[in-house]
Amino acid sequence: MTMELDTTEVAAKTPDHEQPWAELGLKEHEYDRIRDILGRRPTNAELAMYSVMWSEHCSYKSSKVHLRRFGEQAPHSDALLVGMGENAGVVDVGHGYAVTFKIESHNHPSYVEPYQGAATGVGGIVRDILAMGARPIAVMDPLRFGPMDAPDTKRVLPGVVAGIGGYGNCLGLPNIGGEVVFDPSYAANPLVNALCVGVLRHEDIHLANASGVGNKIVLFGARTGGDGIGGASILASESFDDTKPSKRPSVQVGDPFMEKVLIECCLELFSARVVEGIQDLGAAGISCATSELASNGDGGMHVDLEKVLLRDPSLTPGEILMSESQERMMGVVAPENLDAFLAITAKWDVETAVIGEVTDTGRLVIDWHGETIVDVDPRTVAHDGPVYERPYERPAWQDDLQAASPSSLPRPAGGAQLRETLLQLAAAPNLASKSWVTDQYDRYVLGNTVLAQPENAGVVRIDDQTGLGVAVATDGNGRYTKLDPYAGAQLALAEAYRNVATSGARPVAVTDCLNFGSPEDPGVMWQFAEAVRGLADGCQTLGTPVTGGNVSLYNQTGDVAILPTPVVGVLGVLDDVARRTPLGFRETGHAIYLLGTTREEFGGSEWAHVVHGHLGGLPPAVDLDAERQLGEILIAAARDGLIDAAHDLSDGGLAQALVESTLRYGVGARVAVPGGIDPFVFLFSESQGRALVAVSPDTDERFVRLCAERGYPNQRIGVVGGAALSVDDLFDVDLDELRRAHESTFPAAFDA
């Protein structure tokens, strides 16, 4: 038996009907505002719609006031074709090509169901890129987990990695990079961020909006089921029908095969020019897609909700609106193109339903079997949600934390101890080889991957003829950010920028995923505000605008928040990918140069973390002008063929960079500690703005001149060759022993 349908008419007549707004996550004043906007109580369907669209996740209500900085402070860039605010930003890369890229989080679902949570995270970000009219060409996956030896990590990490691989591999998108970082703060809050890069021609950019009165609204792809509507089943008061599943799941299962077909189908629809725009369905499903399409277009839309193809016929209208079933897209199609549109979806066996059309009423009206259950101004749903100026305050403990400098920690002294420290760090979870993870990802598919893990940045070719390509790197250091959120965000930016430049590409744009604890904690809110300020200022200095990103809040267990973790992705352009710089030493006799200045900087360092379990002091100093200069040298040197290999210095300092550069091709190196510097500081400090470079004798002079012209500090510290990593007068480590240390950690932990 079904209760009377809650139509707008019923709602107008029953103002006192009790509604479960609190259970749906709304605050009382938010519910009151909805009533104000509508001039009556919302229908159940409207309530469902507002509650998801006004959630933190969809409305950015706590972060919005801060994120504005990215737009307001965006450096001028001729390359930016589409800026923040769309599904993803679009950047000109030359020769008529444009690139779009974006990073998103799927943290909580990946803890509940690691495989499916991570898989659908990849699926969602790929659809964002596709909605811009671009062909997705690569993915990346920055990950954070609890301690490697925690039993739960052994459940979560293998599942997440298998899910990312399972989905991405099946879609045929090469995985070109990412991160795997461990810290106790992520134990019950793993971070699963996913980045996708897409490519398109300038003329093919599509913005998702519903304009053109009379144009059809078409829903295509997978059928709509009860996925991810956990909360909406509270609206079961709508129905007393007890045959329907009692508890709706809040986790979705993905179908990568469907998504692969959907990609090809959408690209064919775009290229046949039979679709005006396509919007992906992600969080908040049809609620989000209809209200966003309508408010970005002419403002009106009429939908007959019963036309939505269902997988589960027991779904109520409110549940259909909120369902987060994956692999669905919504298209806006001119009536004269409808037949051609349907022919293409039929060719790909993609189920399609015309569910409505664009109107000029300025209202989003949704009917259920002829009765109106939603009648709203779509802007009030999609854009004019609540905005909070949450209180923020530098936490009381921040001073103590910064005062707890690592300077008094015992340090290794002498060759034997330094050698042991180098091996200990090379084997530490955060620095050990990630190939146990990355070997589960296809990096070859599409045949354009020029660099992937374990290189500095992922590099993919876009155009066979010219060799045009892009480089992308993601970085983020939660420990640095905890010590100083403003600097931490800039350090994440600096590292990703440096990684891209080290591979020979010119950095042009930024995307970011801001993973933090609860915004209701003023200390966390301060971390967030500072990180945004740091990143916006940093992007201004480096001339790389933020083109889009994602915020993930409430990552905390009880009162304890995760390390504040802004993950920053930088995109760079290579005019010819044949000029990219790989990181491994190859040629005996090449000189090794260290660029940049090494200071005694151990706050937040990997050494303090691994050896002493210490976090305190200040993170390494940021100097973005130096980063830019270093970048210019590395890019020019790559373009002119002056260097054979390069590796940026970051976590673990010079020692770790040497480990990775020698192990890459099994070619050793011999270095000497320059006079005037403590060997421990030389090897393990994490000073910024540094890179290691291998230079052939043929180009040595020109390279040194290049550095000198730019006045950038550079030191010849050694030479490539041999079967060991040797530090003069201190120690030798055989590469076999080094490899065992570096490569055994993950298999030992996860091949139980």
Partner 1 sequence: MRIGVVTFPGSLDDHDAARAVRVAGGDPVVLWHADADVRGVDAVVLPGGFSYGDYLRAGAIAGMAPVMSAVVDAARGGMPVLGICNGFQVLCEAHLLPGAMLRNEHLRFVCRDQRLRVENAATSWTSAYGQGQEIVVPLKNIDGCYVADERTLDELEAEGRVAFRYVGENPNGSLRDIAGITNARGNVVGLMPHPEHAVDALTGPTTDGLGFFTSVLEGMAHA
Partner 2 sequence: MARVVVDVMLKPEILDPQGKAVHGALTRLGFDGVASVRQGKRFEIELDGEATPEAVAEVERAASTLLSNPVIEDFVVRVEAGV
Ligand X SMILES: Nc1ncnc2c1ncn2[C@@H]1O[C@H](COP(=O)(O)OP(=O)(O)O)[C@@H](O)[C@H]1O
Of residues 94, 202, 241, 257, which one binds partner 2 by CB under 8 A?
257
Helix 485-502, helix 522-542: angle, nearest 10: 40
**Of residues 654, 642, 687, 659, the one with CA closest to residue 743:** 659
Placement of tokens 């990590």 in the chain? 153
Task: Write the DSSP symbol of residue 430.
Answer: T
**Does residue number 257 form part of the binding site for partner 1 (CB under 8 A)?**
yes
Are the C-beta atoms of residues 220 and 274 closer than 8 Å to each other? no
**Does residue number 456 form part of the binding site for ligand X (CB under 6 A)?**
yes
**Does residue number 443 form part of the binding site for partner 1 (CB under 8 A)?**
yes
**Of residues 282, 264, 261, 276, the one with CA closest to residue 135:** 264
Of 107 and 453, the one with the shorter C-beta distance to Mg ion is: 453
| Window of 75-83, 100-108, 601-609, 646-654 that interacts with Mg ion by CB under 5 A | 646-654
Of residues 46, 104, 141, 227, which one binds partner 2 by CB under 8 A?
227
**Does residue number 439 form part of the binding site for partner 1 (CB under 8 A)?**
yes
**Does residue number 261 form part of the binding site for partner 1 (CB under 8 A)?**
yes
Footprint of partner 2 on 322-361 (CB under 8 A): 325-326, 349
Of 422 and 500, the one with the shorter C-beta distance to Mg ion is: 500
Q: Minimum distance between the CB of residue 649 and Mg ion, rounded to whole angstroms?
A: 8
Of residues 226, 378, 538, 549, which one binds partner 2 by CB under 8 A?
226
**Does residue number 143 form part of the binding site for ligand X (CB under 6 A)?**
yes
76 is catalytic: no
Footprint of partner 1 on 722-751 (CB under 8 A): 751
Distances (CA, A) of 742 to 349, 426, 486: 48, 5, 32
Cα 14 to Cα 249: distance, rounded to the nearest angstrom: 31
Q: Minimum distance between the CB of residue 694 and Mg ion, rounded to whole angstroms?
A: 15
Residues in the interface with ligand X (CB under 6 A) total 18
Phi-psi sector, 723: left (phi>0), alpha (psi -120 to 50), beta: alpha
**Of residues 569, 501, 486, the one with CA closest to residue 88:** 569
Of residues 6, 46, 128, 179, which one binds ligand X by CB under 6 A?
179
Are the C-beta atoms of residues 685 and 600 closer than 8 Å to each other? yes
**Of residues 573, 607, 545, 565, the one with CA closest to residue 474:** 565
Footprint of partner 1 on 541-580 (CB under 8 A): 577-578
Task: Find which of Mg ion, partner 2, partner 1, none residue 348 binds, CB within 5 to 8 Å per kind.
Answer: partner 1
Of 366 and 472, the one with the shorter C-beta distance to ligand X is: 472
Of residues 448, 456, 547, 552, which one binds Mg ion by CB under 5 A?
456
Cα 720 to Cα 456: distance, rounded to the nearest angstrom: 19
Q: Minimum distance between the CB of residue 476 and Mg ion, rounded to whole angstroms?
A: 13
**Does residue number 290 form part of the binding site for partner 2 (CB under 8 A)?**
no
For the record, the structure tokens of 208 come out as 């998702």
**Does residue number 162 form part of the binding site for ligand X (CB under 6 A)?**
no
| Window of 114-122, 174-182, 259-267, 671-679 that interacts with ligand X by CB under 6 A | 174-182
**Does residue number 623 form part of the binding site for Mg ion (CB under 5 A)?**
no
User: How many CB atoms within 10 Å of residue 704?
Assistant: 16
Helix 285-296, helix 44-53: angle, nearest 10: 80
| Window of 167-175, 212-220, 323-331, 404-412 that interacts with partner 1 by CB under 8 A | 167-175
Alpha helix locations (H) across 20-85? Answer: 28-38, 44-53, 56-59, 64-72
Q: What is the DSSP string of 412-467?
A: --HHHHHHHHHHHHHHSTTTS--HHHHTTS--STTS-EEE-TTSSSEEEES-TTT-
Query: SS3 of 255, please?
Result: coil
Q: Which of 106, 206, 614, 742 is catalytic?
A: 106
| Window of 34-42, 250-258, 298-306, 497-505 that interacts with partner 2 by CB under 8 A | 250-258
Q: What is the DSSP string of 105-132?
A: E-HHHHHHSHHHHHHHHHHHHHHHHHHT
Of residues 56, 86, 113, 276, which one binds partner 2 by CB under 8 A?
113
Q: Minimum distance between the CB of residue 457 and Mg ion, rounded to whole angstroms?
A: 7
Are the C-beta atoms of residues 308 and 320 closer than 8 Å to each other? yes
**Of residues 181, 318, 211, 185, the one with CA closest to residue 275:** 211
Alpha helix locations (H) across 60-207? Answer: 64-72, 107-112, 114-131, 151-171
Q: Minimum distance between the CB of residue 286 and partner 1, rounded to whole angstroms?
A: 25
Placement of tokens 């139509």 in the chain? 7
| Window of 175-183, 235-243, 544-552, 713-721 that interacts with ligand X by CB under 6 A | 175-183
383 is catalytic: no
Footprint of partner 1 on 143-162 (CB under 8 A): 162
Q: Minimum distance between the CB of residue 125 and Mg ion, rounded to whole angstroms?
A: 22
**Does residue number 455 form part of the binding site for ligand X (CB under 6 A)?**
yes
**Does residue number 251 form part of the binding site for partner 2 (CB under 8 A)?**
yes
Footprint of partner 2 on 539-578 (CB under 8 A): none
Of residues 279, 372, 438, 490, which one binds ligand X by CB under 6 A?
438
**Does residue number 245 form part of the binding site for partner 2 (CB under 8 A)?**
yes
Placement of tokens 């690139």 in the chain? 99
Q: Minimum distance between the CB of residue 574 and partner 2, rounded to whole angstroms?
A: 37
Residue 219 Cα to chain centre, angstroms: 27
**Of residues 129, 95, 29, 97, the one with CA closest to residue 511:** 129
Cα 532 to Cα 283: distance, rounded to the nearest angstrom: 24
Q: Minimum distance between the CB of residue 311 and partner 2, rounded to whole angstroms?
A: 7
Footprint of ligand X on 487-506 (CB under 6 A): 499
User: How many CB atoms within 10 Å of residue 713?
Assistant: 15
Q: What is the DSSP string of 629-644?
A: HHHHHHHHHHHTT--S
**Of residues 601, 406, 569, the one with CA closest to residue 476:** 569
Footprint of Mg ion on 465-524 (CB under 5 A): 499
Contact string 71-110 vs partner 2 (x = CB under 8 A): ----------------------------------------
Query: SS3 of 650, please?
Result: coil
Of 232 and 473, the one with the shorter C-beta distance to Mg ion is: 473
Footprint of ligand X on 273-292 (CB under 6 A): none
**Does residue number 163 form part of the binding site for ligand X (CB under 6 A)?**
no
Task: Write the DSSP symbol of residue 74.
Answer: P
Task: Find which of Mg ion, partner 2, ligand X, none residue 325 binds, CB within 5 to 8 Å per kind.
Answer: partner 2
Instruction: Identify the bridge partners of residue 303 per DSSP, sorted by sequence position.
Output: 356, 366
Which positions lie near ligand X, rule CB under 6 A? Answer: 141, 143, 175, 177-180, 434, 437-438, 453-456, 475, 499, 650-651
Active site residues: 57, 106
